A and B are shown apart, each in its own frame.
Chain A
């Protein structure tokens, strides 16, 4: 237990009420041929009702696994080794599969990265949307159909009536993602998790989908966890940001503060790689190398091999979170000073 102490700096009891979802010290391992790999390491996240949390990090950093674990959707080889996931006063990790089924798609819904393969190819779009409704709202077939048509309309799919009976392969990528979103919001969940909802789409479509998500969030008063590897997306829609690197959260901040002055060197690196109007992207100045796979995690700060401010103290033990100002936290021994 002592190892986890540094995470509990926020007073637990009263604070819990403030959040719709609170992930505390979640760790996930995968049992693979190469042994047990710790993929997510003591991750904590907090989402307030009606707000958008952006979870950002390079590909392979554990974003999807974190959210899948929270919803009990881990693939067979993955398992949670510690932590809890509080949602509306209940620990999701302690619920039975049946209780989770009632919750999934109803109170918490999820949208996945690749919409074309995330829809069942042998079922019509209409059937798949109606299914959510029939599962959780006991609607009759006709009522479910009427509601599904409304939803198709809501997510901006034209000619809903005609498209209701079509199959996913007859939809474009963007339209598939709209259908996925319709399916997810069918039961008006209080939390929507969108896992890289725009990564597989064309740039113009990306903007439309993000626009749609923000608009729905406001209309339905949902909270949103938006997973992305793209800080640009974060800038557009997030209220709060958590930066994840190699299975650990390294920085948390409200979005404006983060862009104003990133504290972790990794965040800074991500920002430097953003295209900007005022300067050309200098690829060389961005962080070199790639995010390490779990086999290559180093002790101490996992970012150390790519960090220009690394010194001997970084290699020893895991850097603890430091509270900086109101809602900001950073796990770095030598955080950036506001000067740069």
Chain B
């Protein structure tokens, strides 16, 4: 087990390194950021001072080596703008992002799994068709458009909920609903097909033949099997959720890391952008690692943990 996990961790670190390097090179190769930060006509001598200060007077390769060695020392660069460490800027925004993302994730998984299971169990009925149509609609809907419609209805017309900000729990409702609708739609669709697959397996007939009541067949026999493929897919959805929250945080002026990112790219604030991307990629990679382990725990046929005594 340790060996398997070690290899996985090594691979993941390698992947992360490639992501960071690729993003570094693409962003740095895009030209001198100073020209977009300082107004035209700023004397070159002034610019040179800043170039030296931020270390962008060296060649890209040198900058890259310095950047990597700084990272290993825990230094993720400083914002071009307010001179604060990029790490602090991003981390300080994380709680809000986690609040929004976490709420959305939990609600979507619960709703998606429930609706998907219902659709599978009521296959071909009105319920099935209704849930599936709603699911397809929910992820065909541009999330920012859905956000605007919800704002229009609940904030501007009905005046029930605030449009932007994050000071109260009411502020959470609209952004979480927007993100959650799309996410639960795609989870529901997947759970439905996983459940249908499980329901036609022989062991489900065995469960019926041994006299297990309906709910017991579903909860104890079907769901644990359907969970195995579902976990992988939900793991992949996490990346989608992070991407989606960048957009939604912006629309609702939710003061999270995603909004910081959008502001930072507007300002070409290199260190902050790089920090955010590093953070996102590590999150996704770690999540996938966890999914792998969870997969092994859920499916006894895969022996991640299964080194026999």
Is A119 on the interface with B (CB-CB < 8 A)? yes
Contacts of A167 in B (CB 8 A): 300-301
Interface contact A98-B202, CB-CB below 8 Å: no
Give the residue of A101, A117, A120, A122 whose beta carbon is less than 8 angstroms from that of B213. A101
Contacts of B50 in A (CB 8 A): none
Is B6 on the interface with A (CB-CB < 8 A)? no
Interface contact A119-B203, CB-CB below 8 Å: yes
**Among residues 32 to 79 in chain A, which have CB atoms less than 8 Å away from a CB atom of chain B?**
71, 73, 75-76
Contact with A along B297-309 (1 / 0, CB 8 A): 0111100000000
Interface contact B209-A105, CB-CB below 8 Å: yes
Q: How far is the CB of B196 from chain A (nearest CB, A)?
A: 11
The CA-CA distance from A159 to B221 in the complex, in Å, is 26
Is A103 on the interface with B (CB-CB < 8 A)? yes
Interface contact B225-A101, CB-CB below 8 Å: no
Is A305 on the interface with B (CB-CB < 8 A)? no
Give the residue of A98, A104, A169 whose beta carbon is less than 8 angstroms from that of B209. A104
**Among residues 161 to 185 in chain A, which have CB atoms less than 8 Å away from a CB atom of chain B?**
167, 169, 180, 183-184
Q: In the complex, what residue of chain B is closest to A170 when comparing beta carbons?
A: B300
Interface contact B213-A110, CB-CB below 8 Å: no
**B interface, size bucket:** 20 to 34
Contacts of B209 in A (CB 8 A): 71, 73, 104-105, 109-110, 112
Is B3 on the interface with A (CB-CB < 8 A)? no
Q: How far is the CB of A81 from chain B (nearest CB, A)?
A: 20
- Among the 9-residue stretches A130-138, A213-221, A327-335, the one with 4 or more Cβ atoms under 8 Å from chain B is A130-138
Is B165 on the interface with A (CB-CB < 8 A)? no
Q: In the complex, what residue of chain A is closest to B221 when comparing beta carbons?
A: A120
Q: In the complex, what residue of chain B is closest to A72 when comparing beta carbons?
A: B208
Interface contact B212-A121, CB-CB below 8 Å: no
Contacts of A105 in B (CB 8 A): 209-212
Contacts of B224 in A (CB 8 A): 122-123
Contact with A along B199-229 (1 / 0, CB 8 A): 0111101111111111010001100110010
Q: How far is the CB of B199 from chain A (nearest CB, A)?
A: 9
Give the residue of B123, B210, B220, B225 whose beta carbon is less than 8 angstroms from that of A132. B210
Interface contact A101-B205, CB-CB below 8 Å: no
The CA-CA distance from A118 to B225 in the complex, in Å, is 13
Give the residue of A73, A98, A121 whose beta carbon is less than 8 angstroms from that of B300. A121
Interface contact B211-A101, CB-CB below 8 Å: yes
Is A97 on the interface with B (CB-CB < 8 A)? yes
The CA-CA distance from A123 to B300 in the complex, in Å, is 8
Interface contact B212-A120, CB-CB below 8 Å: no
The CA-CA distance from A135 to B209 in the complex, in Å, is 12
Interface contact B202-A117, CB-CB below 8 Å: yes
Give the residue of B205, B214, B221, B301 whose beta carbon is less than 8 angstroms from that of A169. B301
Interface contact B211-A112, CB-CB below 8 Å: no
Interface contact B203-A97, CB-CB below 8 Å: no
Contacts of A131 in B (CB 8 A): 210, 212, 220
Contact with A along B63-92 (1 / 0, CB 8 A): 000000000000000000000000000000
Contacts of B200 in A (CB 8 A): 75
Contacts of B214 in A (CB 8 A): 97
**Among residues 95 to 127 in chain A, which have CB atoms less than 8 Å away from a CB atom of chain B?**
97-98, 100-106, 109-110, 112, 114, 117-123
Q: How far is the CB of B207 from chain A (nearest CB, A)?
A: 7
Interface contact A136-B211, CB-CB below 8 Å: yes
Contacts of A110 in B (CB 8 A): 209
The CA-CA distance from A331 to B205 in the complex, in Å, is 33
Q: How far is the CB of B195 from chain A (nearest CB, A)?
A: 14
Give the residue of B203, B216, B298 whose beta carbon is less than 8 angstroms from that of A118. B203
Say whether, besides A120-B225, A121-B225, A167-B300, A73 and B205 are in contact (CB < 8 Å): yes
Interface contact A119-B206, CB-CB below 8 Å: yes
The CA-CA distance from A119 to B155 in the complex, in Å, is 54
Contacts of B228 in A (CB 8 A): 122
Contacts of B208 in A (CB 8 A): 73, 104
Query: What would be 13 A-B contacts, judged by CB atoms less than 8 Å apart?
Result: A73-B208, A75-B200, A101-B211, A104-B208, A104-B209, A106-B211, A112-B202, A117-B203, A118-B202, A119-B203, A120-B206, A121-B225, A167-B300
Sort A-B residue pairs by CB-CB distance and give the 9 closest, nearest first: A105-B211, A105-B210, A104-B211, A167-B300, A120-B203, A118-B202, A110-B209, A117-B202, A101-B211
* Given A100-B211, A112-B202, A123-B220, 20 extra CB contacts under 8 A: A73-B209, A105-B209, A105-B211, A105-B212, A109-B209, A112-B206, A119-B206, A120-B221, A120-B225, A121-B301, A122-B224, A122-B225, A122-B298, A122-B300, A131-B212, A131-B220, A135-B211, A180-B206, A183-B206, A183-B210
B contact residues vs A (CB 8 Å cutoff): 123, 200-203, 205-214, 216, 220-221, 224-225, 228, 298-301
